[in-house]
A = this chain, B = another copy of it.
Amino acid sequence: MGRRLVLTSFGESHGKSIGAVLDGCPAGLELDEKDIQKMLDQRRPGQSSICTQRKEKDIVEIISGVFQRHTTGAPITMIIQNNDQKSRDYDSLRTKLRPGHSDYTAAEKYRGYNDYRGGGRFSGRLTATHVMGGAIARKLLKTALNIRTNSYTTQIGKTCMKKEFNEKIAGMIYKNDARCPDAKTAKTMKSDIINARKNGDSLGGIIESVTLNMPVGLGEPIFGSLESDLSSAMFSIPSVKGVEFGSGFEGAKKYGSENNDLYVVKRNKIVTSTNNSGGILGGISNGMPIVMRVAFKPASSIAKKQDTIDYKTKKRTTLRVKGRHDPCVVPRAPPVVDSLVSLVLADHALISGKIGPVL
């Protein structure tokens, strides 16, 4: 993923370890494990009552590309050991296709050679590798251009945050388990998730991402548009099924005269009075905040009994998905979205020369 700043991710849910190589990071960025660990901790399983109880400390180790606490310009490799695999949980359902999961597509594509334990390569656990690279990209954007990305839960099931986001409430995001900057909505979201789990069920939701202090001119027309690259990155997160920018699907219902953002001058800078474009025009950033909304389907692993098929016998059967699962992955997703947004924007900052090869 990426053209100048290239992230390679590796590992499986129940393998020895997972990791990432970030190639193309400029030399001279101050960096140590703590910078990455902080974001990993926000994604980590087992951190609250509403996420999976798999116990992974997710301690990251940097094994290349950093010397004397600064990046060297060489590929940065990071690794996390897997500790708390319970692969036995998966043996019973090896051939029972779990609805909503990739069991069937993976088995067909790799003719059975894929590592099926815990979803293997397809597991949400791999989003930790996005965070490894993304934490560096985020620090790079902050250091070099003071760009700040904020992603947060704006909807869980049918519960929506009504308040508009502003930077003042950014500090509230990680104050609650739902990762919603509005405390009251967060409370409802949490109880919704707890109820769903009690019923052996799961919930989906929406993450909104707002990036502030964008320079004008990141992105390319047509094939290298910011929207293309951001959406492509979002759909690399398991469970994501929709992405929109600015007024998005709602904008499709409006008249041009309602949806067009009018230009005005503020503090001698050209800006728009509204932001229905989500900060992107012609595939290129216009200096307004980049606003993106990402839809997550409800988690596929549910304790409720479901009808399904046995892959080998093609006979009908039923299953209850055991193991330790998130009843809703959305609260763990904000650092993942932040990471991928940062990777894409840092890539474009490098492409456009806003960030050079040495800081």
Contacts and interface: CB of A to CB of B under 8 A. Distances in A.
Given A286-B104, A314-B268, A248 B242 contact: yes
Interface stretch (A32-40, A162-170, A195-203): A195-203
Interface stretch (A64-72, A134-142, A173-181): A64-72
A256 B297 CA distance: 8
A65 B104 CA distance: 19
Interface residues of A, number: 138
A41 to B, nearest CB: 22
Given A233-B228, A236-B225, A353-B357, A73 B254 contact: no
B228 A232 contact: yes
B252 A204 contact: yes
Given A1-B223, A256-B299, A284-B105, A74 B10 contact: yes
Contact of A16 (B64, B110, B252, B262): B64
B252 A276 contact: no
Contacts of A158: 253
A227 B201 contact: no
Given A113-B28, A243-B242, A281-B102, A9 B75 contact: yes
A231 interface: yes
Contacts of A196: 255-256
B114 A72 contact: yes
A347 interface: no
A222 B64 contact: no
A122 interface: yes
A113 B358 contact: yes
A227 B240 CA distance: 9
Contacts of A240: 227
Interface stretch (A42-50, A52-60, A144-152, A304-312): A304-312
Contacts of A357: 109, 351-353
A28 B109 CA distance: 12
B276 A109 contact: no
Interface in A237-296: 238, 240-249, 251-265, 268, 270, 272, 276-278, 281-286, 295-296
Nearest to A109: B217
Interface of A: 1, 3-4, 7-12, 15-19, 21, 23, 27-28, 63-65, 67, 70-77, 79, 97, 99-102, 104-106, 108-111, 113-115, 117, 120-122, 126, 155, 157-158, 196, 200-206, 216-217, 219, 221-223, 225, 227-229, 231-236, 238, 240-249, 251-265, 268, 270, 272, 276-278, 281-286, 295-302, 304, 306-309, 311, 314, 316, 351-353, 356-358
